[in-house]
Amino acid sequence: MDPAQASTLRLTCAHGQHEMLAAEVGQLDRTVLASDRTGVELRGDLLEAMRLNLLSRVAMRVLYLLDSFPCNHPDQLERGAGKIPWETIIPCSGYLSVTSTIKNPSIDNTMFANLRLKDAIVDRIRKVHGRRPDSGPLRNGVVVHLHWHGDTAQIWIDTSGDKLSDRGYRKMPHQAPLRETLAAAILMRAGYCGEAPLVIPMCGSGTLAIEAALIATSRPPGLLRNRFGFQHLLGYDRADYESIRRELTPRRARRASAPNPVIIANDIDPAAIEATQKNAETAGVAHLIKTSVCDFADTPLPDDPGIVILHPEYGLRLGEEADLRETYSRMGDFFKQRCGGWSGWIFTGNLELAKVVGLRTSCRVPFKHASIDARLLGYELWKGSREQTASDT
Ligand SMILES: C[S@@+](CC[C@H](N)C(=O)[O-])C[C@H]1O[C@@H](n2cnc3c(N)ncnc32)[C@H](O)[C@@H]1O
- Tell me the per-residue pLDDT of 296-332, one tens digit each, with 9 for 90 and over: 999 999 999 999 999 999 998 877 888 899 999 999 9
Nearest to 245 by CA among 93, 383, 55, 63: 55
Q: Are the CB atoms for 198 and 304 separated by under 8 Å?
A: no
Same domain, 272 and 302: yes
One domain, residues 151 and 202: no
Burial class (CB in 10 A: 0-12, 13-18, 19+), 389: exposed
**What is the average pLDDT score of the chain?**
93
Give me the mean pLDDT over the 261-273 stretch.
97
> Which comes out higher in pLDDT, residue 258 or 371?
371
**pLDDT higher than threshold 90 for residue 20:** yes
User: Quick check: 385 pLDDT over 90?
Assistant: no
User: Chain-centre distance of CA 264, in angstroms?
Assistant: 22
Instruction: Look at residue 393 in the predicted model and tell me its pLDDT.
Output: 47
CA–CA gap between residue 66 and residue 234 (Å, rounded): 14
Whether 53 and 226 have beta carbons less than 8 Å apart is answered as: no
pLDDT band per the 50, 70, 90 thresholds, residue 123? very high
Q: Which pLDDT score is estimated for 172?
A: 87
Choose one of 202, 203, 310, 369 to mutate for the ligand 1 pocket test, by most ligand atoms within 8 angstroms of C-beta.
202
Residue of higher predicted confidence among 245 and 249: 245
Domain annotation covers residue 83: yes
Regarding whether 54 and 128 lie in a shared domain, the answer is yes
Q: Of 267, 309, 327, which is best to mutate to test ligand 1, by the most ligand atoms within 8 angstroms of its C-beta?
A: 267
Burial 199-236 (b: 16+ CB within 10 A, else e): bbbbbbbbbbbbbbbbbbbbbbbbbbbeebbbbbbeeb
Q: How far apart are CA 382 and CA 389, in angstroms?
A: 10
Residue 266's H or E segment, with its range, is strand 263-267
Number of domains in the chain: 2
Rounded CA separation 97/115 (Å): 10
Query: Within a 13 Å sphere around the CA of 82, how many CA atoms are in the beta-carbon half?
Result: 14
Of all residues in the chain, the percent with pLDDT exceeding 70 is 95
Share of the chain above pLDDT 90, in %: 87
* Model pLDDT, residue 260: 84
- Cα 204 to ligand 1 centroid, rounded to whole Å: 5
Give the Å distance between the CA of 324 and the centre of ligand 1.
Answer: 12
| pTM, two decimal places | 0.94
Residue 392 has a pLDDT of 45
Cβ(349) – ligand 1 distance below 6 Å: no
Q: What is the pLDDT of residue 257?
A: 59
Same domain, 11 and 94: yes
Whether 250 has a pLDDT exceeding 90, the answer reads no
Using a 6 Å cutoff on CB, does residue 312 contact ligand 1?
yes
Residue 1 falls within a domain, yes or no? no
Task: Please tell me the predicted confidence (pLDDT) of residue 316.
Answer: 84
Asked whether residue 391 is domain-assigned, the answer is no
Ligand 1 pocket residue status of 59, Cβ below 6 Å: no
Report CA dihedral (189, 190, 192, 196) to the nearest 10 degrees.
160
CA of 200 from ligand 1 middle (Å) equals: 9
Q: How confident is the model at residue 133 (pLDDT cuts 50, 70, 90)?
A: very high
Select from 158, 190, 212 the last residue of a domain: 158
Q: Which domain holds residue 20?
A: 7-158
pLDDT given for residue 258 in this prediction: 67
Residue 15 confidence (pLDDT): 85
The answer to whether the CB of 311 is under 6 A from ligand 1 is yes
| Whether the predicted pLDDT of 254 surpasses 50 | no
Is 317 a domain residue?
A: yes
Q: Per-residue pLDDT for 356 more than 80?
A: yes
Pick the range with the lowest mean pLDDT from 55-64, 100-109, 182-191, 229-238: 100-109
Q: Do 152 and 201 share a domain, yes or no? A: no
Q: How far apart are alpha carbons 382 and 335 in whole angstroms? A: 10
